[in-house]
Amino acid sequence: MDTMVRVDGGEVWADDTGGEGPPVVLLHPGVGDSRVWDGVLPFLTGRHRVLRYDARGFGRSPTPDTRYSQLRDLTTVLDHFGVGRAVLAGSSMGGATALSLALAEPDRVGGLALFVPGATGVRGLESPEVNAEIVRLAEARDMDGLVALSLRVWAAADPSPDGVAAAALRSAIPGWFTTYPYDVKDAPVYDRLHEVAVPCVLALGERDQREVIAVSEEMAARIPGCRLVRLAASDHFPTLREPRTAAELILEVCGRAG
């Protein structure tokens, strides 16, 4: 069942498969929206109640016009659906939100399946050269250039301008700019990763941006007991490139969470 959920000063589109199984929440990256989980979802439903939603300004969620917090939006969605505790599966931006909740309200998180995750307060994740080129292309309103650049940097496994990653990027890129003035960064957690106390798997794409790979390796080393998984066929879109494997990793965490 899909619905619009009221959040602080706005709303987000969300979907709840229902069911009796332990809940799993899927959190999408900034290079796509909740549809990046379409290939993963069939492996989870039937065993688990699965929730997913589009962050503000992405997918089916309206563009924000007031300041908001990704962490607060997540807790509001969980409260709306009556979910007290869940396994969180987060990709990139969604991974950062998952980690924020795991450290802010650890009783609400049963386990973490992280895919090429970010983290608030992280260092060394961004490339100044790439950022400068994004600004130049944005100022020129060159959407094709932004997509082409993003494909080169984050979609090396299949940089086709007609591929699934390109479609995800075309949908997501406007959200980078419409949310920028309003998305208030949550408290830094990168230096607190040693406090994560739930089962955790972290998957990186071997064909991702080199800065992302290095940070993923460091994050996995900082999280106690975290299993690092290297996906040879993936870049920054592991749920699109290897959906069955992504689902298996989520189910692994669910099994360890009990």
Q: State the pLDDT at residue 230.
A: 98
Domain assignment of residue 148, yes or no = no
Question: Looking at residues 163-183, what average pLDDT do you find?
Answer: 97
Tell me if 53 is assigned to some domain.
yes
- Of 11, 14, 245, which Cα lies nearest the Cα of 113? 245
CATH number of the domain encompassing residue 50:
3.40.50.1820
Residue 198 belongs to a domain = yes
pLDDT for 189-213, tens place per residue? 999 999 999 999 999 999 999 999 9
Structure confidence by residue, pLDDT tens digits, 238-253: 999 999 999 999 999 9
pLDDT digits (tens, 9 = 90+) for 19-28: 888 999 999 9
Asked, for residue 15, whether it belongs to a domain, the answer is: yes
Q: Is the pLDDT of residue 258 over 90?
A: no
pLDDT band at 124 (very low <50, low <70, confident <90, very high): confident
For range 122-150, the mean pLDDT: 94
| pLDDT computed for residue 19 by the predictor | 87
143 domain residue, yes or no = no
In a domain, 137, yes or no: no
Q: Which domain holds residue 42?
A: 2-124+179-257
Tens of pLDDT, residue by residue over 56-110, are: 999 999 999 999 999 999 999 999 999 999 999 999 999 999 999 999 999 999 9
Q: Which two tokens stand for residue 158?
A: 């299949």
SS3 track for the chain? CEEEEEECCEEEEEEECCCCCCCEEEECCCCCCHHHHCCCHHHHECCECEEEECCCCCCCCCCCCCCECHHHHHHHHHHHCCCCCEEEEEECHHHHHHHHHHHHCHHHEEEEEEECCCCCCCCCCCCHHHHHHHHHHHHCCCHHHHHHHHHHHHCCCCCCCCCHHHHHHHHHHHHHHHCCCCECCCCCCHHHHHHCCCCEEEEEECCCCHHHHHHHHHHHHHCCCCEEEEECCCCCCHHHHCHHHHHHHHHHHHHHHC
| φ, ψ dihedrals at 222, nearest 5° | -80, -25
Average pLDDT on 141-169 reads 97
Instruction: Please count the structural domains in the chain.
Output: 1
Q: Is residue 171 in a domain? A: no
Kindly state whether residue 24 falls inside one of the protein's structural domains.
yes
